[in-house]
């Protein structure tokens, strides 16, 4: 079976696409059941991945700004990194699990813990120095000023 990168939603929820189920010949109910003696079978549908998950985003424009929004609930501001160039924005971070619960005590484990990132190619050039990033209830909003290509500047020549 081909190694397909799972979407952020699939990683977040632990779900498996129907194509993967069909290709493997297994159904969800087979993957998350207990054996005859009551022990859990291998949870084949939960994969340990060392890759970064991909953030879901909204990107839109106003007359003067490009706005990017993403949910990062449970992430401390110091665990977020925002890199901005003229036409690319990268958001990186990590969500750390701060609980010590034995794996055998879980009935369901769907929350995503670990590193995540997203690189966005912007539809227009922006001013990397003119950025406002805010967080409210886990929603990050990044406003970046567009480059004003119509803006002109008159300069007077001084005699020295």
**Paired tokens of 94:** 């990590």
Domain assignment of residue 24, given as a range: 1-48
User: Is the same domain home to 71 and 135?
Assistant: yes
Q: Which of 144, 50, 38 is nearest to 91 (CA)?
A: 144
The contacts of residue 63 (CB under 8 Å, 6+ apart) are none
Number of domains in the chain: 2
Calpha distance 129→113 (Å, rounded): 31
Threshold 0.75, pTM exceeds: no
Q: Residue range 23-35: average pLDDT? A: 45
User: Is the same domain home to 30 and 85?
Assistant: no
User: Is the same domain home to 40 and 56?
Assistant: no
Element (H, E) at 145: strand 139-146
Q: Model confidence over 38-90: pLDDT tens digits?
A: 444 444 444 455 578 888 999 999 999 999 999 988 888 888 999 999 899 99
Q: Model confidence over 100-128: pLDDT tens digits?
A: 888 888 888 888 888 999 999 998 999 99
Is 21 within the bounds of a domain?
yes
């Amino acid at each position: 079976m081909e190694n397909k990168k799972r979407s952020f939603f699939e990683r977040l929820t632990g779900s498996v696409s129907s194509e993967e189920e069909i290709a493997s010949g297994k159904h969800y109910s087979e993957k998350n059941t207990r054996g005859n003696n009551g022990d859990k079978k291998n949870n084949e549908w939960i994969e340990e991945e060392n890759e970064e998950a991909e953030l879901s985003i909204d990107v839109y424009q106003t007359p003067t700004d490009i706005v990017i929004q993403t949910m990062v609930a449970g992430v401390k501001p110091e665990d977020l990194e925002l890199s901005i160039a003229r036409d690319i924005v990268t958001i990186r971070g990590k969500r750390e699990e701060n609980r010590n619960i034995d794996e055998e005590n879980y009935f369901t484990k769907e929350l995503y813990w670990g590193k995540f990132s997203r690189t966005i190619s912007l539809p227009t050039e922006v001013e990397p120095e003119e950025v406002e990033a805010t967080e409210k209830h886990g929603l990050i909003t990044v406003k970046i000023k567009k480059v004003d290509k119509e803006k002109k500047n008159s300069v007077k020549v001084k005699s020295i």
